[in-house]
Amino acid sequence: FSTAIKKSLRIGLIPGDGIGREVLPAAQDAILAVGSSIPKTEFISLDAGFECFTKHGEALPQETVQALKNECDGALFGAVSSPTRKVTGYSSPIVALRKQLDLYANIRPVVAIASPGERGSKVDLIVVRENTECLYVKQEQLITTSEGVKATATRVITKEASRRIGKMAFELALGRPRKHLTIIHKSNVLSVTDGLFRETIRGIPLSDKQYTEVTVAEQIVDSAVYRLFREPEIYDVLVAPNLYGDILSDAAAALVGSLGIVPSVNAGDKFVMGEPVHGSAPDIAGQKKANPLAAIRSAALMLRYMGYPDGADRIDNAVNEVLRRGEILTPDLGGTSTTEEVTNEVVKRI
């Protein structure tokens, strides 16, 4: 899914809310520091999020979607706040963006670098999360009958989406030393939907022979979380329907020390959007405490999937160096440095 090499790049920046606005400038600095490893880069600021909704009445303006589609070669998304009470008309812009740009894979590598404790040190995995369906199709209804109030949501799993996310996962597994894939499901309860997910992915190596090298295991989601915590070393690449992938990637992030270092990309066949796995963290917003590393790593991951591995490596190596030294870190990692100090430390080493 890497795009053709270009003369110049335009990257859309959607900071969103809260610390999203504090960490995207850090990611931008990191990209600018890469210099000649990537084409000349321009940034386009785009609006979305809860504040955007309260100001303009829409959480995801169509101009943002159009700009991403027509003018950008890649994008970075910060984070958005969720209202703490039901707000009529508001709907998460990140979920909508993933769907509207058909970014069907959410790729979340979780790797221990510095010493994050006994178990965390064994974590080296990638969560490959299906990004467009499952309960995220948002088909919900509220029905009031004489028997009471009942709400329903539809969970959708298609063979097509399971197959393309499965192929993406096999592809990633093939590129790693262990070449191991674990399919996450709950087909002991959801035999039809998760049954389809599981069987479709199991079936991929039958037609795509290059994947027969990959060993395939499977786990039921509750037990997968249990084992992730107890024996993280059993995992290499995990492929999961949308909601399980959401939960599993947060669980894996907890093991390596902080959500503040875990990057992701939302990837389609033609476009990638980097996104730190953390949220908008209203509790620490505005305090210069936000860890910029997840956003910076998301920028590297974006560049990697855009076809610029050298630029990506330069950023990743700098981040790893900063983590290994462990001197300049934000409070979530036990340090006392600010977002800007950590960013400068990374930029210096790129």
Ligand X SMILES: CC(C)[C@H](C(=O)O)[C@@H](O)C(=O)O
Residue 43: partners with Cβ closer than 8 Å, 6 or more residues away: 10, 11, 12, 13, 28
Which contiguous run of DSSP H or E holds residue 165? helix 159-174
* Closer to ligand X by Cβ: residue 260 or 311: 260
C-alpha 114: how far from its chain's center? 21
Count of residues making up the chain: 350
Decide: is 141 part of the binding site for a second copy (CB under 8 A). yes
CB of 20 to ligand X, least distance (A): 11
Whether 305 is a known active-site residue: answer no
Decide: is 36 part of the binding site for a second copy (CB under 8 A). no
Q: Where are the alpha helices (DSSP H) in 175-292?
A: 193-207, 221-230, 242-255
Q: What are phi and psi of 322, to 5 degrees?
A: -60, -40
Site for ligand X in 194-223 (CB under 6 A): 222
Select from 4, 70, 146, 148 the one that contacts a second copy (CB under 8 A).
148
- The whole-angstrom separation of Cα 266 and Cα 136 is 15
Structure tokens at 237: 């690449």
3-state secondary structure of 101: coil
Is 98 in contact with 73 (CB distance < 8 Å)?
A: no
Task: Please give the size of the binding site for a second copy, defined by CB under 8 A.
Answer: 56
Decide: is 47 part of the binding site for ligand X (CB under 6 A). no
- The whole-angstrom separation of Cα 75 and Cα 86 is 29
Decide: is 231 part of the binding site for ligand X (CB under 6 A). no
Is 174 in contact with 210 (CB distance < 8 Å)?
A: yes
Is 142 in contact with 165 (CB distance < 8 Å)?
A: no
Judged by beta carbon distances under 5 to 8 A according to partner kind, the member of a second copy, ligand X, none in contact with residue 4 is none
Site for ligand X in 233-252 (CB under 6 A): 246
Decide: is 188 part of the binding site for a second copy (CB under 8 A). yes
Please state, as a whole number, how many other Cβ atoms lie within 10 Å of the Cβ of residue 5: 11
Judged by beta carbon distances under 5 to 8 A according to partner kind, the member of a second copy, ligand X, none in contact with residue 154 is a second copy
The torsion region of residue 183 among left (phi > 0), alpha (psi -120 to 50) and beta comes to beta
Whether 102 is a known active-site residue: answer no
Site for a second copy in 217-256 (CB under 8 A): 220-223, 225-230, 243, 246-247, 249-251, 253-255
CB of 94 to ligand X, least distance (A): 6
Catalytic residue among 17, 124, 246, 332: 246
Decide: is 191 part of the binding site for ligand X (CB under 6 A). no
Catalytic residue among 150, 222, 226, 348: 222
Structure tokens at 102: 């058909």
Decide: is 146 part of the binding site for a second copy (CB under 8 A). no
Whether 283 is a known active-site residue: answer no
Distances (CA, A) of 57 to 48, 97, 106, 335: 11, 17, 28, 39
Catalytic residue among 250, 305, 316, 332: 250
Contact region for ligand X (CB under 6 A) — 24-32, 88-96, 300-308, 326-334?
88-96
Interface residue list for ligand X (CB under 6 A): 92, 94-95, 188-189, 222, 246
Interface residue list for a second copy (CB under 8 A): 82, 86, 91-92, 95, 135-136, 138, 140-142, 148-160, 186-193, 195-196, 199, 220-223, 225-230, 243, 246-247, 249-251, 253-255, 259, 279
Just list the catalytic residues. Answer: 136, 186, 222, 246, 250
